[in-house]
Amino acid sequence: METLIWDGISMIAPEVLDILRQESAFITSPIHGIKHWRTVERNGHYLANFNGADKAVLSYFAYFHDCMRENEHRDKGHGPRGAVFAMKHRDIIPLNDVQFKQLTDACKGHTYGTRPECITINTCWDADRLDLGRVGIDPDASYLHDVEAKRIADEFDFEKLINFKVKDESRQGIQKVVFDLDNTLICEKGESVRQGMFALLDSLKLNGIEMSIWTASTRERAEPIIDKLFLSGYFSDVVYRDDYDPDATWGRTQPKDIRYSNGDLLVDDSKKHIEFVESIGLKGFCITPYISYIDTNLDEIEQLHQLILPKVKFKLKRENQLLKTIKRLFSKNKPVPKWIEC
């Protein structure tokens, strides 16, 4: 297990980062410095998607808990010193009094403290412990509090943490959209992309919306189709059946829990998957299955765009019925002549 250079964003105020750069002797430490702090922030935000812990507190804990260390080994006072350092700079830390108390309590007790009732403090400590791999120690589930943290330790499933990115929680609205593949983005044969979909993807990409694919298809089947249909450039990641439900059978599959990929919205033709994401407090858009021989409803694409980017104008061009018929006839034999498109 390896702590990677973190490439997401941070919820830490720039002036706080400046103070840490000036006053923390350990910010450049390869073990207890900013590389570790960013990993703890990422771990905490990941866990918070499942347990509702306060992400702002998790972020500030990540940066303060080790900032006043005096050595890389057993430094019993470093947590309390981190809390005192936070108190010294209380005026630039944008947390309310309850949040700030959680921050300082988490810093004070993260090494030797007794587990409290507070889910946010417990998640702070779990997020820190899940990064023990950086010093060659595998986290022990018995020392973790959160159910998902225990699962990661038991199954050694650190890949989900490594692939997770912190989002800017100050931004309003949908930031990441997760698309189903078959019958949502593409037809049942894997030969064509839903009409209007490229226009939607272009607009979402242009407006800074992150997108990913979550498919019940295997990597072996789906990956070449995604490449062949020129979809890969739109999506930051793809979750295949091999990744989340390798034992899936027809009619029985695990729900698409988009919390793993930090998604805000699932677009899928399955009501079951949409109902699941809505049951965990996220958004879903149930789209009519795209079948190659049936005309698609462009109104749905426009409605989906309105849901994601309500302030951005988006209107798809409709083809007349005659042109649709001619295209369908030609598609069975050879490409449509250019003069017909004019």
> Sign of dihedral through CA atoms 222, 223, 226, 229?
negative
Do 120 and 18 share a structural domain? yes
Do 219 and 119 share a structural domain? no
Is residue 168 within 8 Å of residue 208, measured between CB atoms? no
Percent of the chain with pLDDT over 70: 90
* 172-205 pLDDT per residue, tens: 889 999 999 999 999 999 999 999 999 999 999 9
Domain count, the chain: 2
Q: Quick check: helix, strand or coil at residue 145? A: coil
Is residue 145 within 8 Å of residue 126, measured between CB atoms? yes
Residue 208 lies in domain: 176-341
Instruction: Establish if 32 belongs to a structural domain.
Output: yes
- How does residue 65 score in pLDDT terms, banded at 50, 70 and 90? very high
Do 155 and 186 share a structural domain? no
Q: Quick check: helix, strand or coil at residue 178? A: strand
Do 91 and 47 share a structural domain? yes
Instruction: Establish if 244 belongs to a structural domain.
Output: yes
Determine the pLDDT at residue 4.
34
Determine the pLDDT at residue 2.
34
Best CA proximity match to 12, nearest among 25, 24, 29, 30: 24
The model carries a pTM of: 0.79
Please count the other Cβ atoms lying within 10 Å of the Cβ belonging to residue 314: 17
Do 241 and 109 share a structural domain? no
Tokens 């010093």, located at residue: 135
Span of 88-102, 195-209, 283-297 with lowest mean pLDDT: 283-297
The DSSP 8-state label assigned to residue 206 in this structure reads H
Rounded to an integer, the average pLDDT of 32-36 is 92
Phi–psi pair at 266, nearest 5 degrees: -110, 130
Do 264 and 140 share a structural domain? no
- How does residue 3 score in pLDDT terms, banded at 50, 70 and 90? very low
Which pair of structure tokens corresponds to residue 272? 């079951």
Cα–Cα distance for residue pair 327/30, rounded to 1 Å: 61
Cα–Cα distance for residue pair 300/184, rounded to 1 Å: 11
The DSSP 8-state label assigned to residue 91 in this structure reads G
- The yes-or-no verdict on residue 304 having pLDDT over 90 is yes
Cα–Cα distance for residue pair 88/199, rounded to 1 Å: 52
* 278-293 pLDDT per residue, tens: 999 999 999 999 998 7
- The yes-or-no verdict on residue 339 having pLDDT over 60 is no
CATH number at residue 70: 1.10.3210.10
Determine the pLDDT at residue 328.
60
Determine the pLDDT at residue 311.
94
